[in-house]
C-alpha cells in the first residue's frame, strides 16, 4: 500500500495550519493523532513555503523542530524533516530523522547534498523553481521539464555521494505551476514513476484543488479532493503521499487496495476460465406440435458451449476437476429422448438447465437443431439457441 506521510507544521505562518502546533507538546500530540489515523511517516516542517512567507534563520528553524524530532524518534516514529538548510539537515539527522525533504532538491543550499550523503539519510528531491511558489510558472511541456529537472537533480545527488536507493523524487505540485500544469502532471504521472525511483506526491490542500470548490471555502475543505488525488497518484505508481488529513486519505487508499485485490482475484478467476464445446450430439425424440411428430419422432442435433473453470484440471490432470463431456453427452441424449415438448425452445431450456447443474459450469449455451422439421419449403436446418450464466 502507498505510504501516507502526515504533515506536521511547527510554524506560525503555514497556509492551512499555521500557529496550531508551534508548542512542542501540541505538535507531539498531533503527531500521535496522525499516527493513530494510519500515518507511516511524520513530515515535520519548521519554515513555511506558502506564497509570501518570510525566510527565517536556520537556527530558528532548528529551535522549532528539534524538540519534536527528538521526542518522536524516541518513540520509534519514522521522521522526515522538510528543510532547505544543510545545517538543519545535519542536526535532524543527528537526532535520528530518517528523511530530509528538500523542496529545492539541494539547489538553495549548495552544501545540502553533501550533508545528506554524510548523514546517510534518505532525501526527497522536489521540482521547484526556488522557494517562491508563485514565480516562473510558464512551461512549454510541464511533464517533460519536470522530468528533466528531476533527472538532473538525481544525478547531482549521486555525484555528491547519495546512493540511488536513498533518493525519492517529488514532482512538486503547487510549486511554480499554474493550476492546469498540476492537472497535466497528475494525468501523466506515470511518465515520472517510469524513472524507477520512489515518488512522493503532495497535493494536500493545494490551491489548484481549492479552485474546484466554492469561493471562500476553507483550506481543510480540500481534504476530500486531496484524498482523491492521492488515490490517483497511488494508481499511477506513487510510493508515498504527503497529506494534512491522514484519516481521509488512508480510508481512500484502503478502498483502492480493496478494489485492486478484487481485480486480482477476478484476474486469477479469469485465468482459470476456459470452454468446452460439444458439436453434433444426435438423439431421437418425439418433440413437436404436429401429431405425426409426436407419433413417429425424428432426429435432433445438439451443440453445447460451456464456460468452465478448467485451470484446476489443467494442473491436476484429473477428470473430476472438469466437466466429463462423455457423461454430459449421454445425459443430453437421455434428456432429448424423454417426455416430449411442443417447442425446441423448451427443449433447449431443458438442456441448458441440465448443463448448469455442474458446479464448474459458469455459463452454458445450447443450440438444438431440427433438420427434419415439417417445413413446407426446401431448407437446410432450423435451430434455436438459448444460454444462461451464473449471477456472479
Cβ neighbours around 194 below 10 Å, total: 11
pLDDT of res. 204:
96
Cell of 256: 483502492
pLDDT of res. 17:
56
Cα separation, 3 vs 250, in Å, equals 9
- Using a 10 angstrom Cβ sphere, with 0-12 exposed, 13-18 middle and 19 or more buried, the burial of residue 10 is buried
pLDDT of res. 52:
60
Cα separation, 201 vs 240, in Å, equals 6
Could you tell me whether strands 3-9 and 273-285 are parallel, antiparallel, or unpaired per DSSP bridges?
A: unpaired
Cβ–Cβ < 8 Å for 246, 175? no
103-126 burial by CB neighbour count: b if 16+ within 10 A, else e? Answer: bbbbbbbeebbbbbbbbebbbbbb
Could you tell me whether strands 361-369 and 383-389 are parallel, antiparallel, or unpaired per DSSP bridges?
A: antiparallel
pLDDT of res. 312:
81
Say how many residues make up the chain. 392
- Using a 10 angstrom Cβ sphere, with 0-12 exposed, 13-18 middle and 19 or more buried, the burial of residue 79 is buried
- Enumerate the active-site residues: 206, 242
Cβ–Cβ < 8 Å for 72, 28? yes
pTM value > 0.75: no
SS3 state of residue 28? helix
What is the torsional sign of CA 65, 68, 73, 74?
A: positive
Per-10-residue mean pLDDT, the chain, length 392: 94 62 90 97 88 80 96 97 97 98 96 98 94 81 96 97 97 94 95 90 95 93 97 96 97 94 69 86 96 95 92 86 93 96 96 93 95 92 93 66
Sequence-distant (6+) residues with CB within 8 A of 337 are: 283, 284, 285
Cβ–Cβ < 8 Å for 302, 283? yes
Kindly report the CATH class assigned to 272-389: alpha beta
Domain positions in the chain are: 3-267, 272-389
Cβ–Cβ < 8 Å for 142, 182? no
Nearest residue to 37 via CA among 6, 2, 73, 82: 6
Cα separation, 116 vs 161, in Å, equals 9
pLDDT of res. 43:
97
Kindly report the CATH class assigned to 3-267: alpha beta
The DSSP letter of residue 147 is: H
Element (H, E) at 116: helix 112-119
Cβ–Cβ < 8 Å for 143, 184? yes
pLDDT of res. 125:
98
pLDDT of res. 16:
54
What stretches of the chain adopt beta strand conformation (E)?
3-9, 41-45, 79-82, 99-102, 122-126, 167-170, 200-201, 240-243, 273-285, 298-309, 361-369, 383-389
Amino acid at each position: 500500500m502507498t505510504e501516507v506521510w502526515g504533515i506536521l507544521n511547527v510554524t506560525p505562518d503555514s497556509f492551512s495550519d499555521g500557529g496550531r502546533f508551534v508548542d512542542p507538546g501540541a505538535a507531539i500530540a498531533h503527531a500521535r493523532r496522525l499516527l493513530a489515523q494510519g500515518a507511516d511517516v511524520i513530515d515535520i516542517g519548521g519554515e513555511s513555503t506558502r506564497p509570501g512567507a518570510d525566510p527565517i534563520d536556520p537556527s530558528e528553524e532548528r529551535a522549532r523542530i528539534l524538540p519534536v524530532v527528538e521526542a518522536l524518534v524516541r518513540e520509534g516514529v519514522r521522521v522526515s524533516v522538510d528543510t532547505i538548510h544543510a545545517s538543519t539537515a545535519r542536526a535532524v539527522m543527528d537526532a535520528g530523522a530518517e528523511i530530509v525533504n528538500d523542496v529545492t532538491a539541494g539547489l538553495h543550499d549548495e552544501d545540502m547534498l553533501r550533508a545528506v550523503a554524510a548523514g546517510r539519510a534518505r532525501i526527497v528531491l522536489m521540482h521547484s523553481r526556488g522557494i517562491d511558489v508563485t514565480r516562473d510558472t510558464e512551461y512549454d511541456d510541464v511533464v517533460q521539464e519536470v522530468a528533466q529537472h528531476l533527472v538532473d537533480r538525481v544525478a547531482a545527488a549521486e555525484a555528491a555521494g547519495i546512493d540511488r536507493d536513498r533518493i525519492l523524487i517529488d514532482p512538486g505540485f503547487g510549486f511554480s505551476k499554474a493550476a492546469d500544469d498540476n492537472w497535466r502532471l497528475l494525468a501523466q504521472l506515470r511518465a515520472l514513476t517510469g524513472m524507477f525511483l520512489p515518488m512522493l506526491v503532495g497535493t494536500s490542500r493545494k490551491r489548484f484543488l481549492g479552485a474546484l470548490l466554492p469561493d471562500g471555502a476553507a483550506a481543510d475543505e480540500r481534504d476530500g479532493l486531496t484524498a482523491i488525488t492521492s488515490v490517483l497518484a497511488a494508481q499511477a505508481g506513487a510510493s508515498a503521499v504527503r497529506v494534512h488529513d491522514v484519516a481521509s486519505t488512508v480510508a481512500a487508499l484502503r478502498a483502492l487496495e480493496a478494489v485492486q485485490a478484487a481485480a486480482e482475484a477476478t484476474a486469477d478467476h479469469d485465468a482459470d476460465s476456459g470452454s468446452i464445446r460439444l458439436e453434433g450430439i444426435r438423439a431421437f425424440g418425439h418433440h413437436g406440435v404436429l401429431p405425426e411428430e409426436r407419433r413417429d419422432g425424428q432426429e435432433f442435433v445438439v451443440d453445447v458451449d460451456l464456460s468452465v473453470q478448467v485451470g484446476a484440471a489443467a494442473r491436476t490432470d484429473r477428470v473430476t476437476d472438469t466437466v466429463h463431456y462423455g457423461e454430459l453427452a449421454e445425459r443430453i441424449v437421455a434428456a432429448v429422448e424423454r417426455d416430449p415438448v411442443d417447442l425446441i425452445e423448451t427443449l433447449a431450456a431443458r438442456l441448458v438447465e441440465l448443463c448448469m447443474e455442474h458446479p464448474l459450469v459458469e455459463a452454458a449455451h445450447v443450440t438444438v437443431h431440427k433438420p427434419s422439421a415439417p417445413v413446407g419449403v426446401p431448407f437446410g436446418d432450423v435451430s434455436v439457441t438459448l444460454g444462461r450464466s451464473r449471477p456472479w
